[in-house]
Structure 1
Amino acid sequence: MKRAYLSIGTNIGEREKNLQDAVRMLIAHEAITVTAVSSIYETAAVGFTEQADFLNIALRLETTLSAQELLLVCQQVENDLGRVREFRWGPRIIDLDILLYNNETSNTETLIVPHPRMYERAFVLVPLKEIMPEKCDMLEGVQNAYQTFDIEKEGVKLWKTIATVDEFVPSEN
């Protein structure tokens, strides 16, 4: 099994439900096990700022998929939830990004891992740091970048505390 970390964000419609739906779809995939979900954080938009605030979470998962296969699953989730790409940094119903994949690097036309801008974004690092185990090869770079941010100044606000995956997306049994 490979370990991966994702960032998920939304600023259109029922934002919390959008996050939950994306996580449910990932959980439903036979090659993915979601092992941790961060609390939900609210942040102002970056880039194009004339839009609603985002809700953001990070996920830790285990998978038998390659990084490229995981990207395809993430894109399918976005498509299934109605993601429309009108312009860069525009409003979106859902956005899934692979941040880290098994302490590996990838630089292809469609996928760069580690995510090329993750270390510049407090709204990514705050939830990511929350779910990374203390003994993790991938943690050092995240901690170093995290320490450079004034989280309050960056506008990352805790929106809702989440303790477990089951708390965030209860089983439908």
Structure 2
Amino acid sequence: MSRRLAEGLQTDDAPRRRDEAIAVVALGSNLGDRKATLEAALTDLARLPLVTHVRTASPIESVALTPEGRDAEAPAYLNSVALLTTRLAPTVLLGYLHAIEARHGRERAERWADRTLDLDLIAYGEVTSEGPVLILPHPRAAERDFVLGPWLQVDPDAVLPGVGRVADILSRLREPS
């Protein structure tokens, strides 16, 4: 694993401007050279206009999810989370995320299919939205340990808007049934 992906893109702790927000982006890949794809996607995220800082979690491997549940027979995912300090509007950022996915070979022919790259906008500051194009926070974020765990790596005080502290949500997910 490259040092860059393992340590994440480091940023300074400069204060945010009032017109900036922290966007939480989940990254995943289970086809092709997963590590190289995530590294390239992180570079693409850092180069977006109006993005001033990017912090990333070390990648973790997870079992693929299907509508029926976890599928250990499918190729495993490499997942990470990036926190972007940005002035992009949430819907504009989502458009950039889809463009980055497409550049890395993402095909949207089938929902829940294996993919070269998946970029999900999990949260955008304290914004909540139920729009037809974008739902914030991501409607399944609180069910995904492969999102919540890496998120806590880069922000131990993280809060999923309208749901609660990420550490508490993850703890409940990991409790034996």
The TM-score range, normalised by the shorter chain, is 0.7 to 0.9
Q: 5+ residue gaps in structure 1?
A: 154-173
| 1:72 alignment partner in structure 2 | 95
Whole-angstrom CA distance in 1 between matches of 2:27 and 2:116? 10
8 Å Cα contact 2:29/2:115 also seen in 1: yes
- Residue in 1 that maps onto 2:66: 47
Equivalent in the alignment of 2:44? 25
Moved over 4 A (4+): 136-139
Name the CA distance, whole Å, in 1 between partners of 2:167 and 2:59.
19
**Relative to 1, partners in 2 of residues 1:45 and 1:137: Cα closer, same or farther, differing over 3 Å?**
closer
CA spacing shift, 1:124–1:137, aligned 2, 3 Å? closer
Q: Normalization by structure 1: what TM-score?
A: 0.81
The answer for the alignment partner of 2:112 in structure 1 is 89
Higher relative contact order (CA 8 A, sep 6+): 1
TM-score, normalization by structure 2 = 0.79
What is the Cα deviation at residue 150 of structure 1?
2.4
CA contact (8 A) 1:31 1:64 kept: yes
Aligned residues: 151
- Alpha-carbon RMSD: 1.9
CA contact (8 A) 1:100 1:115 kept: yes
Percent identical among aligned pairs is 31
In the TM superposition, residue 138 of structure 1 has moved relative to its aligned partner by: 4.5
- 1:1-173 mapped onto 2 (5 Å cutoff): 1-47=20-66, 49=71, 50-134=73-157, 138=160, 140-150=164-174
State how far apart, in whole Å, the 2-side matches of 1:85 and 1:34 are: 29
State the Cα distance separating 1:133 from its structure 2 match. Answer: 4.7
